[in-house]
Structure 1
Amino acid sequence: MPRRTVLSVLACLAGTARALASSEPPLSSLTLVGPPAIVFKAGRDACDGADVPDISARALREPSGAVALFGLHYRNRAMRGPDLDHLKLDCAVVLDSGEAPDPAAYDDRSWIAATWSEDGRRVEALLHHEYQANEHPGRCREASYLACWYNTVVAARSEDGGRSFRRAAPPVVAMAAPFRQEVGQGRHRGFFNPSNIVADGRWRYVFVSTTGWDKPGRQEPGTCLFRTGDPGDAASWRGWTGRGFTAAFPDPYRGAPKPPEACLPLAPFPAGVGAVVRHRATGAFIAVFMAKADPARGLPQSGFYWTTSRDLLAWDTPRLLLAGATLYDDPCAAPGGLIAYPSLLDPQARGRNFDDTGDTALLTYATLRTQGCAVTSDRDLLRRPLAIKVWP
């Protein structure tokens, strides 16, 4: 997804996460215990110019036990191999982006942002969908990307273990702003950047970011937690409101949009959650995210942070995991490049969807080289081993 305006997006979200932040001592310790290793190098391993790390990595196990990993661009391909240690890019496109001018089609540019499978064959996906109205004549009164950027989380499904995905007709919307794309132009709008999906009993959870809106209704910007009992029914996702999981955000292009109940942004997340996993021995949840330095919010340096929770709602004070300029920093001041899209993957995960971890895991992330003040497509996908300790 284009990132030249990500600083402005962060500005929309800054200072909004509220409520449900824990004042307890830290529940866990994460320590990097080895150097980075390259998983994918765009200039060496790409099938074409669309193959660059551009979203947090998501992995699942196929029926054979082999692994598929998603985390590249809007011409979606998978890296495949017998395990996380032996992945190679498969040049077959599993989901392409139609760049359709009709916003109701939800087929402009889509990234596979989250996957879930019970059997490895039928795979449900949540897509980060961008309708970039500035690219479609007559669809936006302004010419800039950010002013015309309209985000929705939509669903896709694979019946062949993630070898190909299809959208339903009409598309099924999981999270949408309660207005159409032409409303409120002038800033980034909608829901975007789902985390991976994590299980807790019969429920499946995902974190999703929003820039919020003033009407219809009022939605504060930040990162909300959504829940469903069936990822195969994407319309069943409901957001936490502070009282329950009751906030629904259906397709405004089908039926008259109504003011929805707002979801409650959760602290301490300044923007999207890169990944959330459950620690097998203790049941605690660990989330990683990237952030710009903001000492007033307990973020002393730019980089990747982690935080821990017992219930996915109240999170402890975030701790710095890896320092470095991120996509939320000014690339003009980052001649060494940026880091972005953190994820946690345990090669020994017991779940098919890599939503659990033991006492070791891999921090998987991208490095993005800069040229002057521009973020380039010269990117690597890296991994670093880390040790995890969670106090019971």
Structure 2
Amino acid sequence: MVPATLSSKATLAARAFTAACGLLWLGTAAASEVRLHVDGPVETVFRWKQDGCPSDFIPDSPARAFRRPDGSVMLIAAHFRNGSFAGPSLDRLKPRCHASSGGAELDQPERFDDRFWVQGLAPLPKGGLFALVSHEYMGKRHPGRCLSASRPGPQCWYSAIVGATADAQGLSFSLEPPATRVVAAPPTRFDPGATARTGFFTATNIVEAGGWLYFVSWAEIPGTRGNCLFRAPSDSPAGPWRARRAGGFTGFFPSAYETGRDEHTTPTRCDVIGADRQLGILRSIVRLETVDLYVGVFSVANGMQRPAGIYYSLSPDLLTWGEARMLVDLRPWYGTMECAAFYDYPSLIDPASSSPTFATAGQHLQLYLTRFNWSTCDRGLDRDLVRLSIAVRTGAP
């Protein structure tokens, strides 16, 4: 983290470093003096048992919002059916209970058209939306595609980030053509005998800085486990996207099935950001305009090195991250077999953001979460979308 008290010479050096990385210098506020605080009770946005949608209309990803050309708002907290919410504002949303889009569930991993979850949005220059989607090929769902299909666990899980597009009014997403679909894929082909999962599993929302678009994906590939930072030109949301690698944005993760590519080539690694701070899987990143810092949120499971809950960390440049601080002690479900209500998939959204994808924020935000209603020990589909008011405060703690 670059402190606000840097000397003039050190400040210039830091600016030169971030400029060389293609990132915007933001160091006008000392992160140690910025705090996020819960500023209200849990509010239910969508209640699965009462809102009359099909049983598989559930919040299964961090919430993302988009302001449409007519000023109305759409929000998606994607399941693989990718249903959405719409209304005149984030305070007046109604569920669009039908599935708006979904993968073809093909049993061919090389097609990258099984199931997908919409997770990152950016306006296209000529209208409509580009989306980063988390694509999951699960060999266990396809007969004969997993040698250990009867065993519990993450065997035969092959995940990638791929691109999709949608009309800005409808949020009905279609995968990009096969030749340009893959944003970041595992450097090896699907292995039906795999005993661990592999690939890129999540995408944060997309943020913009200095003529570039950025997102973070959690990677589990040979040589890399952690949050990897990607960027693409601001005028080209569909890419090409490159990952931070060896100090520059040179990481290229095409399909391992591309013609002429050797699947046994040494895997390309990407730099892990926030590893020194033990950041969990970053789910949402927002630029706090009033303090010139980015804030990222993630959950911490039971049994880890710090208490379970929803955490945040601050960054001046998306590369260097500050200490992880608990935002609210609402626990995710993994790591425990208790019967309780659990919370996960955190996402920060400022309803007053000037960004069409709510990628910026002021001093007041909403923390969206999925609540898993498992108090009766029935770990089924009963889950709600909820939110809490968050205030950004400055000054010594």
TM-score (normalizing by structure 1): 0.86
Letter in 2 for 1:32: V
> 2: distance between equivalents of 1:120 and 1:233?
11
Tell me if 1:133 matches 2:139.
yes
Identify which of 212, 218, 221 aligns with 1:209.
Answer: 218
What residue in structure 2 maps to residue 342 of structure 1? 346
Identify which of 62, 77, 85 aligns with 2:83.
Answer: 77
What residue in structure 1 maps to residue 188 of structure 2? 179
Change in Cα spacing, 1:25 to 1:206, as seen in structure 2 (3 Å) is closer
Identify which of 153, 172, 177 aligns with 2:161.
Answer: 153
What residue in structure 1 maps to residue 272 of structure 2? 265
- Bigger Rg over Cα: 2
Tell me if 1:168 matches 2:176.
yes
Instruction: Tell me by how many angstroms 1:140 deviates.
Output: 1.3
Alignment gaps of 5+ in structure 2: 1-29
> 2: distance between equivalents of 1:172 and 1:70?
21
Name which of structure 1's ranges 36-45 and 55-64 shifts more when overlaid on structure 2: 36-45
Change in Cα spacing, 1:270 to 1:309, as seen in structure 2 (3 Å) is closer
Change in Cα spacing, 1:295 to 1:371, as seen in structure 2 (3 Å) is closer
Tell me if 1:246 matches 2:246.
no
What residue in structure 2 maps to residue 12 of structure 1? none
What residue in structure 2 maps to residue 284 of structure 1? 293
Letter in 2 for 1:261: T
- Aligned CA-pair RMSD: 2.2
Alignment gaps of 5+ in structure 1: 1-23, 214-218
Instruction: Tell me by how many angstroms 1:242 deviates.
Output: 4.1
> 1: distance between equivalents of 2:218 and 2:53?
30
Letter in 2 for 1:52: I
Identify which of 301, 311, 325 aligns with 2:331.
Answer: 325
> 1: distance between equivalents of 2:318 and 2:365?
20
Instruction: Tell me by how many angstroms 1:26 deviates.
Output: 2.4
Partner SS state of residue 325, structure 1? coil
Deviations 1:131-168 (A, max 9, x none): 01011111111114510111011100113434322112
> 1: distance between equivalents of 2:131 and 2:157?
22
Partner SS state of residue 337, structure 1? strand
8 Å contact kept, 2:367–2:387: yes
**Percent of aligned pairs with the same residue?**
31
Name which of structure 1's ranges 367-376 and 257-266 shifts more when overlaid on structure 2: 367-376
Change in Cα spacing, 1:245 to 1:391, as seen in structure 2 (3 Å) is farther
TM-score (normalizing by structure 2): 0.85
Letter in 2 for 1:278: R
Letter in 1 for 2:283: G
Partner SS state of residue 344, structure 1? strand
Matches within 5 A, 1:1-392: 26-117=32-123, 121-143=127-149, 144=151, 146-170=154-178, 172-182=181-191, 185-213=194-222, 219-230=223-234, 232=236, 234-255=238-259, 256=261, 257=263, 258-267=265-274, 268-292=277-301, 296=305, 299=306, 301-330=307-336, 332-333=337-338, 335-370=339-374, 375-390=379-394
Deviations 1:167-204 (A, max 9, x none): 12316100111111117611111001111111112111
What residue in structure 1 maps to residue 17 of structure 2? none
> 1: distance between equivalents of 2:378 and 2:154?
16
Change in Cα spacing, 1:72 to 1:46, as seen in structure 2 (3 Å) is farther
> 2: distance between equivalents of 1:141 and 1:230?
43
Instruction: Tell me by how many angstroms 1:325 deviates.
Output: 2.4
How many residue pairs match? The answer is 359
